[in-house]
Amino acid sequence: MFEQNRIYEFGKKIDGDATMRALLGGKGANLAEMARIGLPVPPGFTITTEVCAEFKANGGQLPEYIFDQIEKAIGNVEKQQGKVFGDLENPLLFSVRSGARDSMPGMMDTILNLGLNDQSVQGFARKTDNPRFAYDCYRRFIQMYGDVVMGVQAKDDREEEPFDALLGQLKKEVGIGSDVDLTAEQLKELIKRYKNLIKNFSTREFPQDVYAQLNGAICAVFKSWNNERAVIYRQKYNIPSEWGTAVNVQSMVFGNMGNDCATGVAFTRNPANGEHEFYGEYLINAQGEDVVAGIRTPQPIAALENDMPKVFEQLVGVCRTLEDHFRDMQDFEFTIERGKLYMLQTRNGKRTGLAAVRIAVEMVDEGRISKEDAIKRIPADSISTLLVPVFDENEKKGLKKLAQGLPAGPGAACGKVYFSAKVAEEVYGKGEKVILCRIETSPEDIRGMLTSEGILTSRGGVSSHAALVARQMGKVCVCGAGSLHIDYGSKTIQVGETTIREGDYISIDGTTGEVFEGKVATVPSEVNRVLAGEMEAEKSNTYRLFATVMQWADNFRKLGIRSNADTPKQAKQAFQLGAEGIGLCRTEHMFFEDDRIDFMRRMILSTTTSDRIEALNHLKPLQRGDFEEIFREMRGLPVTIRLLDPPLHEFLPNTEDALMALSEKFGISMEQIRTRVQALHEQNPMLGHRGCRLGMTFPEITTMQATAIFEAVEKVRSEGVDVKVEVMVPLVGFTGEFNVQAALIKAAAEKVMAETEKTFTHMVGTMLELPRAALVADKIAETAEFFSFGTNDLTQTTLGMSRDDSGTFLPDYIAQEVVTRNPFASIDVEGVGQLMEIGVTKARQGRPDVKLGICGEHGGEPDSVKFCHKLGLSYVSCAPNRVPVAKIAAAQAALEKTAP
């Protein structure tokens, strides 16, 4: 039977290239590409992602036919390297690494130095004339293989890894501090102990056959595609599980052969703040995992200029070559073996939001990429990192600075100290803000890192696991703060005389690397200070980046961007952040303020229409005043005001005392109040007496609100400020509901016009937030002038799922991949989206020029914004601070659409 080729070589013969990420994974494709452009890549081959699927379908075994292909590829590498895999005298060693389409750093497994056994290590020692090196390689191999393939691991993160424990114990026995000082004989002893550990732990022997080793390693990598941390990572980044990983088998080069050897990780620009500088770190006489794992704190890359000036210069050239070729910031791994540079990997570098924005803008300045590319490349969410609050510099001065670490994830974070990822996750569940403090982090910590405000480590550099994950997740991170003595046993941080205990507050500044005791107050970001006129635009480079990106986005996007704003303050913020109007002003929020709530309660407790009207008359001028302020802030931009929406019982107090106070204030008997409270109780308030149903049973509420709106319109217009008001009826399901409510609103407008002897225009429309409304939008559109999708409620009703109650089962659904994302965070395109399409089509049937928007919380989520663009909506409306995010997402959607 003919079998498709599943192996792609790189070396003298190059089968792949950078475009083949889906098949070869990012690492394999880029190894081939680097070889093509003449960079020094040790030869090897890539097993395709197709085999990952076959492996799974095959019950966790490699398909038989692949072994011949592997043998053939090994033969080709052997020829190029002049070594033989498994040879006793001159053994060829391999690294075996994962490589998915999108890089998932640290999530999957790697094996180095594969091909050594008890015999060949002796030949290797003779051949390299370096027994210490040879036995170090062998013990590293056994350690990694034992961990990854044979499952010799600590049970939880409070226990030391068993191999590390043996290594530490030996160092103690022989009285040395650093791994590199171990002699060959000591390493031999360590190897013996490692092999015993494996045998005791797994009841199997460490394999001596090199092909068995290779088979085990390849299987382990494929299997690691479905390990817990990889699955969690994929969920967070929406990577489909069917993509699978490729496996890269590459001949080893050695950074640990002596002091003319090194290994490092570097970036063509600074991934934390985006600065255009050669950035990274390296370790002399080490292998790659030493850098990433953060076991020894590496040297900053600049120091290499002294240690190995020629190689440093060569690396600077490599940076240029890579950026010229890949047109993006690269994150690459290299090894220096006896003064010779080898490239082991390159990829587009993960970066913080701030860095993403800065690199994109500066690459446009440099002429490397177009504005379109820049916008496409900035993750929409990343712009919000320019808007998050920063620590107040004045406050910092008054507080005790505990330590200085590396600024690995910019931003300000403040929380209680916890030392275990698991505990961090638990206390987060109880609503606490956590700073996760670890000596170093490992992939097992990922859940705890996700739930922390910030991450602090005492060991590891800017490419350590902690830094890397923090950058990618947008978490605040300070790493390698070496003066902190973190003790998991006593759950303390000791620094000089100071002891910080579990649960104490600390504050970390990921932009500067500073660590403070206690809570530091925050102030608005530079961008916000410029927007508020509190800082000159010229003084802020961050503002320049922000404004540039916003201008590009505004040029490209087709979708309007409005903001949800309930108060004059929010309206002001929305205006400053570039919102083109208010898409949702919730009037009920006004009722909760100050003593308004009491009049609201008086209204609710009324049993007659006249009592209700009297209470409403107290509320009207207060509402009108708010509306006036909002209109003034928006300076003629459209403002959509939604009439009262929540069920009335939400306004009533819960406690007996508060009810008593109400009873006294308004002279209503407790008996009467209790009866009313009882009558208002509902089984399913979400589906109850709310939205326009209130205006249907109490038309006087609609009339009061509409009158307050129109009186405010008239007042603000009389001041010379234009007003565009759109009155929105909530929770309409039936045409008749809308017609009745619209008639009340229009009557109020006419009354105000008659009284003021002025005319003004206004629009009356409704939410599309019930399936029925979407289905009959054609009929509603005969009278409604605009629609706004309320995707929060539409999701709840379409899925029959209460957002408040879904916490008991939705996490299970996400874990089981029944839903790929939380439908309350990102629009469920297949279900809710389909109903939205029906709504759009129908609404246009009823009124071809109907204005369509969205004002659910999805309006600020990039994928949902893109979906709204596809639907052809007029605008999305989101929280003020999500306006810039929505603008970028809208621009990206427009650019995607115009792509050929």
Report, as residue numbers or ranges, the catalytic residues.
Answer: 465, 855
Smaller CB separation from a second copy, 505 or 813: 813
Strands (E), 338-472: 340-348, 390-391, 401-404, 406-409, 412-418, 434-438, 454-457
The nearer residue to a second copy, 316 or 819, going by C-beta atoms, is 819
Does 426 interact with a second copy (rule: CB under 8 A)? no
**CB closer to a second copy out of 277 and 650:** 650
Min CB(373)–a second copy separation in Å = 36
The nearest distance, CB 854 to a second copy, in angstroms, is 17
We find the least distance from the C-beta atom of residue 775 to a second copy, in angstroms, to be 5
Closer CB to a second copy, 406 or 694, in the complex: 694
Q: Minimum CB separation from a second copy for residue 234, in Å?
A: 16
Q: Residue 6 phi/psi, 5° resolution?
A: -115, 10
Q: Which of 424, 395, 427, 388 is nearest to 516 (CA)?
A: 395
Range 370-373 contact pairs with CB under 8 angstroms and sequence separation of 24 or more: 371/552, 371/555, 371/556, 372/556, 372/895, 373/327
Residue number, 518 or 831, with CB nearest to a second copy: 831
Q: Which is nearer to a second copy, 292 or 732 (CB)?
A: 732
Q: Which of 201, 211, 488, 813 binds a second copy (CB under 8 A)?
A: 813
Residue at 178: amino acid letter: S
> Considering only residues 102-161, where is the footprint of a second copy by CB under 8 A?
none
**d(Cα 162, Cα 117) in Å, to the nearest integer?**
21
> In whole angstroms, what is the distance from residue 533 CA to residue 530 CA?
5
**Nearest of 129, 469, 449 to residue 294 by alpha carbon:** 469
Helix ranges restricted to H, 327-402 = 353-365, 371-377, 393-398
Q: How far apart are CA 837 and CA 858, in angstroms?
A: 16
- The least CB distance from residue 729 to a second copy, in Å, is 13
> Does residue 394 belong to the site contacting a second copy (CB under 8 A)?
no
Q: What gap in Å lies between CA 865 and CA 826, rounded to an integer?
A: 9
Q: Which of 771, 792, 822, 863 binds a second copy (CB under 8 A)?
A: 771
Is residue 776 close enough to count as binding a second copy by CB under 8 A?
yes
Q: What is the total residue count of the chain?
A: 900
Build a one-symbol-per-residue string for 651-690: x at contacts with a second copy by CB under 8 A, - elsewhere: ----------------------------x--xxxxxxxx-
Q: Judged by CB, which is closer to a second copy: 636, or 811?
A: 811
Whole-number minimum distance, CB 857 to a second copy, in Å?
17
Determine the 3-state secondary structure of 198 from DSSP: helix
Contact 110, 149 (CB under 8 A): no
Cβ burial, residue 519 (10 Å; 0-12/13-18/19+): middle
Nearest residue (CB) to a second copy, 496 versus 736 = 736
770 is an interface residue for a second copy by CB under 8 A:
yes
Q: How far is the CB of 787 from a second copy (least distance, A)?
A: 16
Q: Does 832 bind a second copy (CB under 8 A)?
A: yes
In 3D space, the residue among 854, 809, 803 whose CA is nearest the CA of residue 825 turns out to be: 803
| Interface residue with a second copy, options 184, 740, 743, 747 (CB under 8 A) | 740
CB of 702 to a second copy, least distance (A): 14
Q: Which is nearer to a second copy, 184 or 775 (CB)?
A: 775
Query: Which of 793, 862, 877, 878 touches a second copy by CB under 8 A?
Result: 793
Among 5, 394, 654, 816, binds a second copy (CB under 8 A): 816
Which CB, 82 or 800, lies closer to a second copy? 800
Q: How far is the CB of 445 from a second copy (least distance, A)?
A: 26
693 binds a second copy (CB under 8 A): yes
Centre a 10 Å sphere on the Cβ of residue 451 and count the other Cβ atoms it contains.
Answer: 18
Pick from 232, 597, 696, 763: which binds a second copy (CB under 8 A)? Answer: 696
Q: Shortest approach of a second copy to residue 790 CB, angstroms? A: 10
Tokens of 496: 């000089």
**Which of 175, 800, 848, 900 is close enough to bind a second copy by CB under 8 A?**
800
Q: By CB under 8 A, name the one of 772, 841, 896, 897 that touches a second copy.
A: 772
Considering CB under 8 A, how many residues would be counted as binding a second copy? 49
Q: CB under 8 Å, gap of 24 or more: what pairs does 741-748 form?
A: 741/643, 741/692, 741/695, 741/696, 741/702, 742/783, 742/784, 744/695, 744/699, 744/702, 744/703, 744/706, 745/702, 745/706, 747/703, 748/702, 748/703, 748/706, 748/707, 748/709, 748/710
Residue type, 34: M
Q: Of the candidates 668, 801, 873, 889, which one interacts with a second copy according to CB under 8 A?
A: 801
Q: Is 625 in the site for a second copy (CB under 8 A)?
A: no
Stretch of residues binding a second copy (CB under 8 A), selected from 254-262, 419-427, 534-542, 803-811: 803-811
Query: Does residue 323 sit in helix, strand or coil?
Result: helix
H-assigned helices in 1-148 = 21-36, 49-57, 66-81, 120-128, 131-148
Task: Quote the least distance from Cβ 377 to a second copy, whole Å.
Answer: 33
Q: To 10 degrees, the CA torsion angle through 351, 356, 359, 361? A: 180
Q: Which amino acid is at 564?
A: N
Q: Which positions ≥6 away from 508 have C-beta within 8 Å?
A: 412, 413, 414, 435, 454, 456, 476, 477, 478, 514, 515, 516
Residue list 720-739, contact with a second copy (CB under 8 A): 731, 733-734, 736-737
Nearest distance in Å: CB 643, a second copy: 15
Instruction: Tell me: does residue 831 bind a second copy (CB under 8 A).
Output: yes
834 contacts a second copy (rule: CB under 8 A): yes
Between 544 and 803, name the residue whose CB sits nearer to a second copy. 803
Q: Provide the minimum distance between the beta carbon of 342 and a second copy in the complex, in angstroms, as a whole number.
A: 45
Would you count residue 895 as binding a second copy (CB under 8 A)? no
| 251 near a second copy, judged by CB under 8 A | no
Chain positions 514 to 553 lying near a second copy, rule: CB under 8 A, are none
Asked whether the beta carbons of 814 and 748 are under 8 A apart, the reply is: no
3-state helix, strand, coil split of the chain in percent (to 5) is 50, 15, 35
387, two tokens: 């808007």
Which one of residues 179, 714, 828, 861 is an interface residue with a second copy (CB under 8 A)? 828
**Cα–Cα distance, 276 to 278 (Å, whole number):** 7
Which range touches a second copy (CB under 8 A), out of 431-439, 546-554, 700-708, 812-820? Answer: 812-820
| Helix (H/G/I), strand (E/B), else coil: 573 | helix
Phi first, then psi: give them for residue 511, nearest 5 degrees.
Answer: -85, -30
CA 754 to chain centroid: 54
Query: What is the torsional sign of CA 592, 595, 596, 599?
Result: positive
User: Which span sits near a second copy by CB under 8 A: 46-54, 260-268, 337-345, 790-798?
Assistant: 790-798
**In terms of CB distance, is 540 or 798 closer to a second copy?**
798
Complex with a second copy: residue 130 or 735, whichever CB lies closer: 735
Span near a second copy by CB under 8 A; candidates 165-173, 507-515, 817-825, 843-851: 817-825
- The Cα–Cα gap between 850 and 227 comes to 50
Binding to a second copy, residues 203-242 (CB under 8 A):
none
Q: According to CB under 8 A, which one of 5, 655, 808, 898 is a site residue for a second copy?
A: 808
Asked if 93 and 121 touch (Cβ cutoff 8 Å), the reply is: no
- ∠ CA 106-110-113, rounded to 5°: 145
**Alpha-carbon radius of gyration of the chain:** 32
799 binds a second copy (CB under 8 A): yes
Contact residues toward a second copy (CB under 8 A) are 679, 682-689, 693, 696-697, 731, 733-734, 736-737, 740, 769-772, 775-776, 793, 796-802, 804-806, 808-809, 812-813, 816-819, 828, 830-832, 834-835
